Amino acid sequence: MKRRNFIKNASLSGVGIAVGSALVSCKEDAVQKQETSAPVVIGSIPLVIATWDVKNATAKAMEVLNAGGNALDAVEQGCRVEEANAEGQSVGKGGLPDREGHVTLDACIMDKHGNCGSVVYLKDITHAVSVARKVMEDTPHVMLAGEGAKQFAVSQGFTPEDLLTEASKEAWEKWKIEAEYKPIINIENHDTIGMLAIDKNGDISGACTTSGLAYKMAGRVGDSPIIGSGLFVDNEIGACVATGLGEEVVKTVGSFLVVELMRQGKSPQEACEEAIGRIVNKPNSDFKNFQVGYIAVNKKGETGDYAIHQHFSMTKYQDGKNVNIQSDFFNKNG
Ligand code: ASP
């Protein structure tokens, strides 16, 4: 086990039991384990984790949870913070466009009952995650795309606006002149924001929102709005959300895989590592040239995060601390 993981797990075991609310979801489990005198490893709840360094977003989500709000409200409100941030060039307003200069958004959300909603190729609406929630709650469908998704959003009171900011337009115009004509995955900064939360009742929800790969082909959709790939929540077991090259996540149904591995007994960390292994160990995997990262949480409030590329990080708000943690990563030269 790598040193950081060791510290992380050790500190979790130290804090877990002391926090009363942590016992809500795990009480029976904890009692059983105490009988065998093994140390009980549980993380405290409520908690929020998110891909990349998005402390304002996790702070917002925790504010919702601390006020007694549920995990679904928390992840929606948290993701909205990044969507509204026009300086972030990968989510919502200000997102980098496709190669035709159009900003198109993908998002999804999933609740404790396994309900889900998603939007793909959504134009002109900043808060894609909230439209996804409306799809989940106010339509008989799971996914709406393109013009239909936009019409639905407008019918629900969302106001259309131009999402292409001057900065993103300039970046796109520079890319057109200089570019090798291929999509770019941003490995230095945050891309998709994916967020998972456990509320005071021990219930889990998750959400994911993105403008996708910068300068993608028009019409391209990644993993982020696809339930099971970009996000999966199973309130009995845990949840996972992905970022990085969506095509690779879709090919391995990554988030569902991580949750199923946890169902089979793996910790969130082990499950994320195995899911990354499924990508890098494929024959002819081109993993040296792309990035994928997973974050996961289980019902006990333990978390995991792992990536192919070293720049990946997770923001975690737990026990009153809102911190960004560099993730362990698969050594791409290894
Ligand atoms: N996963 C997103 C996509 O493929 C992009 C990202 O996370 O950067 O659309």
Phi-psi region of 218 (alpha: psi -120 to 50; beta: other; left: phi over 0): beta
- 28 and 73: one domain? no
Q: Tens of pLDDT along 151-181?
A: 999 999 999 998 888 888 888 888 777 766 5
pLDDT in the model for residue 220: 94
Contact 295, 49 (CB under 8 A): yes
Farthest-apart Cα atoms in the chain, separation: 67
- 63 and 209: one domain? yes
Q: Which of 224, 247, 249, 327 to mutate to test the pocket of ligand 1 (most atoms within 8 A of CB)?
A: 224
Give the Cα separation of 224 and 213 in Å (integer). Answer: 11
Q: Which domain holds residue 11?
A: 1-37
pLDDT in the model for residue 94: 72
pLDDT in the model for residue 184: 53
- 62 and 33: one domain? no
Report the domain count for the chain: 2
CATH number at residue 286: 3.60.20.30
- 184 and 301: one domain? yes
Choose the catalytic residue: 58, 104, 126, 192: 192
Give the HSE-up count for residue 81: Cα atoms under 13 Å, Cβ half-sphere. 21
- 24 and 82: one domain? no
- 9 and 154: one domain? no
pLDDT in the model for residue 19: 34
Q: Which of 51, 190, 213, 311 to mutate to test the pocket of ligand 1 (most atoms within 8 A of CB)?
A: 213
- 10 and 113: one domain? no
- 60 and 12: one domain? no
Q: Report how far apart, in Å, the C-alpha atoms of 112 and of each of 119, 204, 227, 333 are.
A: 19, 5, 14, 39
β-sheet bridge partners, residue 106? 210
Low-confidence ranges of the chain (pLDDT < 50): 1-41, 186-190
β-sheet bridge partners, residue 143? 118
- 60 and 186: one domain? yes
pLDDT in the model for residue 185: 55
Give the Cα separation of 29 and 23 in Å (integer). Answer: 9
pLDDT in the model for residue 93: 73
- 140 and 77: one domain? yes
- 90 and 2: one domain? no
Element (DSSP H or E) covering residue 328 = strand 328-329
Closest CA to ligand 1's atom 5:
212
Closest CA to ligand 1's atom 9:
212
Give the Cα separation of 173 and 176 in Å (integer). Answer: 5
Please state the atom number of ligand 1 nearest to the C-alpha of residue 230.
1
CA 42–ligand 1 middle distance (angstroms): 31
* Catalytic site includes residue 192: yes
- The three-state secondary structure class of 38 is coil
* Ligand 1 neighbours (beta carbon < 6 A): 185, 191-192, 210, 212-213, 222-224, 243-246
- 135 and 8: one domain? no
pLDDT in the model for residue 88: 67
Residue 108 tokens, joined: 């999804």
pLDDT in the model for residue 204: 98
Q: What angle separates helix 71-84 from helix 55-66, to the nearest 10 degrees?
A: 150
